[in-house]
Amino acid sequence: MANLLDQLKTFTTVVADSGDIDSIKQFKPTDSTTNPSLIAAAAQMPAYQSIVDGVLQEAREKAGDSASDKDVAAAAFKTLAVAFGKKILEIVPGRVSTEVDARMSYDSAKTMEQAHDIIKQYEDAGISRERVLIKIASTWEGIKAAEKLETEGIHCNLTLLFGLHQAIACAEAKVTLISPFVGRILDWYKKDTGKDYTGADDPGVKSVTEIYNYYKKFGYKTVVMGASFRNTGEIIELAGCDLLTIAPKLLEELQTTEGTLERKLDPAKAAGLDIKKIPMDKATFEKMHAENRMAHDKLKEGIEGFSKALEDLEKLLEKRLSELPKPQAVSSK
C-alpha cells in the first residue's frame, strides 16, 4: 500500500514549507516556500553558515569600507532570502516563494519596489521570473500591489490570508496563488472558544474548503495553497486542494503512514454547489475584515510576527558580520 504523501501528490501539488535545504532534498516537493521566520531559523543553522557569510561578504564589498556593520547587515538582509531561494531552485523543479518585507504590508508602492528588486536579483542570476512567486501579505494595499505586478508578469503568492473577503479580493486581482493559514485559524478559535477541533470540524479546514469551492464554482484562475498546518489530520481533510505547503515534520509523518487517502476537495463537486457571488471593492473588503475578528486579529498578529522575525534577522546578521574578518586594505606602494 502506498504511503499518504505519495497518494497526496497524485491530486495535490506538494510544497515544502521550509528554508532547510536538506529537508527539501529529502521529500522532493514540486515547489518550496519560505517566510521571514523560516529564513531566520535556517540562517542560524551551521549547515548554511557559508550562504550567510557569502551574502554578508558580498554586501560588505558593495557597501565599501566606510559602511557600518548595521548598514551592511541591512543590505545583506535584502539578498539573503534570494540566496536561499536560488539554492532551493537547484533542488525543486517548480517555483520558490520569496517574501517582501512584512513592514511594507500597508504600502503598495514600497511593496512593488521591493518585488521588482527581488525579481531583478533572480533574473541577474539567470533565473526566470516564471520560477519565482513574490509573497505579499493579504492587506488591501498588498493585494492592489500584486494586481499591478501580475500585469508585468511578476507572479504573486498572497499570504497571511484568513478570510473569504481576502480570498475574493485576490481572485478579482488575478493573483497567481493564495496561502490561507489553516493552523493559525485553528489556534485563534481554540483560544477564543476553549474548544478543540478535529477533522472536518477544524475551522481552518472549513475556511480553506469554503475558499476552494468559491474559486472553482466561479472559475477563478487563482489557485489555493493551504498553509500553516498543525497536524496531518488537517492535510488529509484538504486532500485535493490545488497545492499544500507542508513543514518537514508533517511531510515525514505522511511519508511514513500507509493507508487510503480520499480526495476531499474536487472542482467537479464545487461546480454543483449553491454559492452566492460577493462583489468586492475596498469598502466591502474593509467591512468584512472588521466584522471577522479572527481574520482581523491574525492578519495584524502575522504582520507583526514576521516584522519581528526580520528585525531579529537583521540583528543576527549584524552580529555575524562583526565576527567575520575585516578585508585587508591593499597597500598603494
Give residue for cell 488591501. 140
Q: For residue 100, give the nearest of 140, 134, 143, 148 by alpha carbon.
A: 134
AA letter at 18: S
Return d(Cα 215, Cα 212) in angstroms, integer: 5
Q: What is the grid cell recorded at 244? A: 499544500
| Residues known to be catalytic | 135
Q: What is the grid cell recorded at 308? A: 519581528
Return d(Cα 125, Cα 110) in angstroms, integer: 23
Angle at CA 70, nearest 5°, toward 135 and 58? 70
Say whether 173 sits in a helix, a strand or coil.
coil
Return d(Cα 226, Cα 204) in angstroms, integer: 9
